Amino acid sequence: MNGLTWETLSAWLAMGGYGLYVWGSLGMCAAVFACELLSLRAQRHALANVDAEAAGGAAQTPARRPVLTQQEQDA
């Protein structure tokens, strides 16, 4: 007894026959968190690209033009 519950890697992966359920749960969590982080990264790049375009520089992607706020229109 080495203090661990598992004797082999395949036994660990099989999860006593519940592998699909256990790994399906953990995998979905990992996938959801990864998607959220990637989406935040994409939003950050979009925000940066809008500025590059507005400044007359070559934007990487045809990002939306920022909607001018009232202050900007007045300026």
Partner 1 sequence: MAAQTLFRFAAPQTFYPLAGRLAWLAAGSAVVLAAIGLWIGLVIAPTDAQQGEAYRIIFVHVPAAWMSMLIYLVMAGWAAVGLVFNARLASTLARALAPTGALMTFLALWTGALWGKPTWGTWWVWDARLTSELMLLFLYLGFLALHGAIEDPRRADRAAALLALVGVVNVPIIYFSVIWWNTLHQGASVSLTRAPSMATTMLAGMLVMALAFWMYTIAVTLWRARLLVLEREAHAPWAQRARKALAGKGEGAGPGMGSKLGPSVGEAMR
Binding site for partner 1 (CB under 8 A): 3-6, 12, 15-18, 20-22, 24-26, 28-29, 32-33, 36-38, 40-41, 43-44, 47-52, 66, 69, 71-72
Measured distance CA(36)–CA(24) in Å, rounded: 18
Amino acid at 22: V
CB of 72 to partner 1, least distance (A): 6
Q: Which is nearer to partner 1, 10 or 69 (CB)?
A: 69
The answer to whether 41 and 33 have CB atoms below 8 angstroms apart is no
Answer yes or no: are the C-beta atoms of 53 and 59 closer than 8 Å.
yes
- Report in angstroms how near the CB of residue 57 gets to partner 1 at its nearest: 9
Amino acid at 38: L
- To partner 1, the closest distance from the beta carbon of 58 in angstroms equals 12
